[in-house]
Every structure is written in C-alpha cells, then in structure tokens.
Structure 1
Amino acid sequence: MKLSDLFPGAMLSDVAAAHQDVLVLPLDQGFLHLPKADLTEREKALIQILSLGEEKTNSDSSWLSFLQGESPLPIAERDLQLIYWHHPSALSTELKRLLTDIFSNSLLVTELSAHQSLLVLDASDLHDSSDIIKDLLPTIEGDFGLSLKAFIGNAWTGFTEQDLQVILSMEYAIFQDYHDENAPQLTTTFAQALLWSLAKKKDIALLSQKLLALMDGLKDGRDLVIAMWQEHGNLVQTAQRLFIHRNSLQYRLDKFHQVTGLNLKDLDDLALAYLLILKN
C-alpha cells in the first residue's frame, strides 16, 4: 500500500522545515510532510519518536548544536565561512573528498543530518565561493547523480567565539527559512537571503548591526558603498566620483570584501550594503 493511500494529505519534499501544523518524517528520498489534522494522537507521538531517532543517528551533534546556539564552537579557527548543502540522499565519501579538495581554504566537511551537510572554510583566506559552486553543481549532478542546493554563508572574520555563535546561528536560521520558501533555487548567497529577509520584514537587526559595524570600521566605508550604488557599480565612474585612482578603488573594494565579506562588485552584495545604510 502506498503512503498516499494511507495519508492523502501527505507531501514528499526535500525540505525539512515545515509549518507548525505539519509533522515531518525523514525518508531516504526526502522528507514526508504530514498535516497534523490528518493524524491521530498516537500517530503523532510515533512520528515524533522516529524523527528524533533519525536526527540522532545522522547528525553531527557538535556542529548542529553550535548552529542552534546550544554548544561551543567545535573548531579552534575563528575566521569562518560556512557553506550549507541540502541533498536528497547522504553524500558519498568521494563527494565529500571532492568538496574538501576543490576549495584550497577548506577546513572540513561534516554532515548535519541525512539531508544537510556543512562545508567549513577558512575566511582569512578569502575566495569567491559562489562562482566555484555554480560551476561545480552541474559536474556533481552529472558525475554523482546527486542534485545539491548550496547556501553560501558570509565570510566572518575578527569575531569572538560568542559573537560567532550568535551570528552563525542567525545566518543558519535565515537560510533554513529561505530554503523553505524558495526550494527550486540551486544556489543562494548570504546577500540574497538577507535581501529576501528584508523584503519579508523579518528580524535581521543583529546581523545588520554587525555588518554596519564592520563597514564603519573601514575608512569611508559607507561613502564607498554609496558611490558604487550611485554609479551603478561602474568602477571608472566610481573612482572619478571619489577622486581616486582606479587602482586605489580596487584596493578599497578588496579591503571592504576582506573585512565585511561583501563584494561590492556583486549587485546583490552592493544592494544589501546600500539598503542597510539607508535603514540606519
């Protein structure tokens, strides 16, 4: 007998997050979403027990607990960028090795659950991860037969462990919310997720304050963002507006990227920086 016969209102998805009126049961091929109204109290209790058992079996409790704000940072490195992977089935050893090897600043790859993994990068050696990942996803699907979705976290440097836990916990929560409502998208950057959060009027005040503090720590950081926005990202015209040489502008853009994690030559990153300034 099929699950659809037993539970006509059930829906199969590769997304774990769900509405409060829905229970989620992890399966090999994804997650089964079951409306609570269709279940008896006994069935609800059984599903919750099974879900807890699955989570304990497949999750890396140290990183998952850290991202949920419950335990210390599981690594000594404090300059971090996290790449979150959603996948319909567990990653093979060969694929984990590929993800580790393709990034020269890779620190580790770990599973958070059967359908979510984490790539931890050394943010002090900053690279543009988004272009690498966009080129990599078709190769992975072709060679490994696995469709991955990547959420590219910001590069955070110079923070204490306590600050990192707050920042990365909120970043993780935002990506989870974004994935729930934008499932078809294969790659999502930190800027895209925060712009979506602003549009949805979600509370991102803490991350906004952290990013603004990083901008203000740079000489004329806000002026650089405003000039880039007013010149639509044109480097020649931005340099002229700021009365500096093109090479000096490039140096300031590189420094801004290194300190804040935002690449102002990317339209989403520039829009995010500009909106944060406008709101404050």
Structure 2
Amino acid sequence: MLQQLKKHFPSLQSYKKTPTEIDDKLTWFIAENGQIISIDPSEITEKDSALLHIFLKPYQHNFPPMTKAEKLWQQYIQADGELPIIENMFRLIFFQIPPDQLQPADFKDALNQLFEKEMIILWESETEGVIVDKELTDYEEDISLEEIIDILMSDLYIKIRFFVSPYLTELRQAKHYYNQLTSQASIVFSYSEHNVISYIEAIPYLLIDQLTPKLRDDLQQLIPQEFQHDKGFLKMMEVFLKSNLNVSVAAKKLYMHRNSFQYRIEKFKEKTGLDIRNFHHALTVYLALLVK
C-alpha cells in the first residue's frame, strides 16, 4: 500500500519508529500496523483527504519538545565518528510504561520532580524510551532505581519496568548499549518479573534466548516436572546464586530456616543427581528453569 501511495504522494515518508519531533507543516497519519506516515499537505486534494482517512488515521503525538541536551544525546547515539570525551560516567535506563495510561509529557514531569532536575529522555514510542542517567555529584543524594520505580508506580498508578546498562565512561559506548537495550528489552522482560533488571542480570536470559531448540529441550529434561512448575524453587535458585551459593545467607534472605533450605537441596539432589551447592550444577539448573 505504501508503495502505491508513494507514487501518488511523492513527499510521503514512513517511519519505523515513532518520530519524537513532528513537523507541523506536514500532515501525519498512522496505519493499522502502527507505522507513522507524513505527507506534504500541498499534495493532498479534498478528495485525496477523504480517501486517506478511510485507510489511515490522523496522527498527533504527545511528546514534550526535545531539550538541547536531548538533541545532543540523540546525535551521540546515532554518530559513527569521533565523539567528545566526557568527565562523568553515565548509564542508560530503558523504560516501558503501559499504553494509553500516561502521556509522555506527564511521565517526564514526574521524573523531573522526583530527581529535582531536567531529565534526559530519548523516546522510542509513546510507551518506551531511554533515560540518560548521569553519575551523581558529591552533593546529590543517591536513590536506588528500585526506590525510584516504587515511588513512580505509587504516584502514577501504573506498571513501570527498567532495563539498565552498566555505568559507561565513553560516549562511543552509548550507541552500542542504546541499541542493545531497545532491541533486547522485550526478551528480558519475558523471562523476568522484576521491575528493575540490570544488563548483567539479564545475560542468562539473553543466553537462553540464543539456544537451539535441541539444547533447550536437553536442558529441560534435566529437571523433573515437579521442580519445573515450582515458582518457589526458581526463586530459591535465583537468591542462592545471588548469595554466592551461601546457604545461610540465601535462607536468611528468603526467611527460611537453614535446615529447611538444606532439605530442599538434598531432595533435589536425590531426584536429579545435581548438587546446586556446586557452581556449575547450580548455573545449569538455573538456566534449565529459565528455559521453562
């Protein structure tokens, strides 16, 4: 359809992602598949307009105007050449909010109020984008992302998710991690229910997604069905790995008695031959449960 429209409207442009800056001099439409289209109104007759409105819907965006800093960072993540040296570290935070529940401008206002400064947001769509989070100065208070997302969800009454890059020291890294976060977020969010997921924590999910069907099946066969469907056991494995395979620490975090934790480990070992107190066994079991 677009090719046919292009023949009739030479100025027609289509966009793979939602443009964050709209030229008000153009006429904008959105197709059923979500693709955004712009056409020079001088090419549209009254009859053309009536026909276009049958197949397309008028489009109006709700993005706040881009700040000077946001335009600069947009250039950084698109650049292929030399970039300036920066003094402070930064990280990129991909976010996702539910559709039709919050306007982009309102979300940005909430962030600005929470951080008490103008935040840099690069929008991918009206529900997704990337926050550029610069390293705090000695005079700024450090608030964890978990606290931030809890406050936002409480104030805005919506579900919000973050996928967070490591702290970066060079601008040339921005483009790589920006592309990684935006392309892999849907995969990561499909494996984890956490609201905040770091890139390091996400690596097992990304590895699982790359496995061949045969290897995925082989991994699943290692774990009996009773454990595959046990969400409590998956949580226990996750906490155990994050506790450096320390039974006492993991049991404390899960509010379990150490003996109860040991009992579950021994029961699992009896049925599978896998001892999750061994790192390689633990990692294999965790990956197998993620496959499920």
Q: Which structure would you say has the larger Rg?
A: 2
Tell me whether the two structures share a fold, i.e. TM-score over 0.5.
Answer: no
Q: Report TM bin, short chain.
A: 0.3 to 0.5
TM-score by length of 2: 0.41
| Structure (1/2) with the larger strand percentage | 1
